[in-house]
């Protein structure tokens, strides 16, 4: 009887030590280009929208509400890639104005009325390739059918003086540009009149090329 128990125990040990075959599962091999798609930069996320802010721009995820700042000083090539991917379109015009008070400025404009202002990087060594840095933005009227840009408070082209004053503390003064307003944080604009119903025709922040 003891020998039977010993044989029974040995058989259990041998069975447990024998490698068991695993069932074959259906797997999909991920190709390198598919990996690239899964690691697409946030800038190419179609759920993101661009928001105007003081001394910067912001990318806001429409689903999560999270945001990423695009600050002044960002190199042109980095910023343009992000903006083009966000708008799903390229700039419609690129110009360099050498007569601005701040020196030569490169200006790139999209069909939604946004113009980005770039200034030469003066810290680069002599003889090196010119590098342009993001130093300002401006907005005017967008083409029909194109969504207009606004601040987080919903202020943009077409907003009234009453709406601006409800969102920000501003100062309004008459200049050679018209009825010009400014916020303490550094956003500027022009109104088409002085009354509460006067509307914004231009907005900007940072370096500009306005002739007064």
In a domain? residue 34: no
Quote the CA–CA distance of 46 and 68 in Å, as a whole number: 15
In a domain? residue 38: no
pLDDT value at position 145?
64
Q: Which two tokens stand for residue 211?
A: 């002739």
In a domain? residue 9: no
Q: How many distinct structural domains can be found in the chain?
A: 1
In a domain? residue 129: yes
Contact 112, 87 (CB under 8 A): yes
Quote the CA–CA distance of 110 and 158 in Å, as a whole number: 18
Range of the domain at 47: 43-206
pLDDT value at position 19?
40
Task: Express each pLDDT in 101-136 by its tens digit.
Answer: 889 999 999 999 999 999 998 776 555 566 899 999
pLDDT value at position 148?
87
Strand arrangement of the beta sheet that strand 48-53 belongs to: 48-53, 56-61, 67-71
Token look-up 């490169």 returns: 106
In a domain? residue 75: yes
In a domain? residue 1: no
In a domain? residue 32: no
Could you say which residues of the chain have pLDDT below 50?
1-44
In a domain? residue 29: no
DSSP 3-state assignment of 4? helix
Indicate the pTM of the whole model: 0.75
pLDDT value at position 25?
35
pLDDT value at position 90?
95
Task: Express each pLDDT in 170-187 by its tens digit.
Answer: 999 999 999 999 999 999
């Amino acid at each position: 009887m003891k020998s039977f128990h010993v044989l029974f125990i040995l058989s259990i040990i041998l069975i447990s030590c024998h490698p068991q075959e695993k069932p074959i599962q259906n797997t999909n091999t991920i190709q390198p280009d598919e990996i690239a798609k899964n690691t697409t930069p946030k800038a190419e996320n179609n759920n993101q929208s661009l928001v105007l802010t003081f001394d910067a721009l912001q990318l806001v995820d429409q689903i999560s509400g999270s945001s990423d700042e695009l600050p002044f000083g960002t190199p042109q090539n980095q910023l343009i890639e992000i903006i083009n991917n966000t708008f799903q379109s390229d700039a419609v015009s690129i110009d360099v104005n050498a007569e601005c008070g701040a020196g030569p400025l490169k200006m790139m404009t999209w069909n939604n009325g946004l113009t980005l202002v770039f200034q030469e990087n003066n810290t680069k060594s002599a003889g090196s390739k010119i590098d342009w840095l993001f130093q300002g933005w401006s907005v005017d009227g967008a083409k029909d059918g194109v969504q207009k840009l606004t601040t987080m408070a919903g202020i943009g082209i077409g907003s009234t003086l009453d709406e601006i004053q409800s969102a920000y503390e501003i100062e309004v003064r008459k200049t050679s540009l018209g009825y010009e307003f400014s916020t303490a944080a550094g956003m500027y604009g022009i109104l088409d009149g002085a009354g509460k119903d006067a509307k914004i025709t231009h907005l900007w922040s940072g370096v500009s090329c306005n002739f007064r």
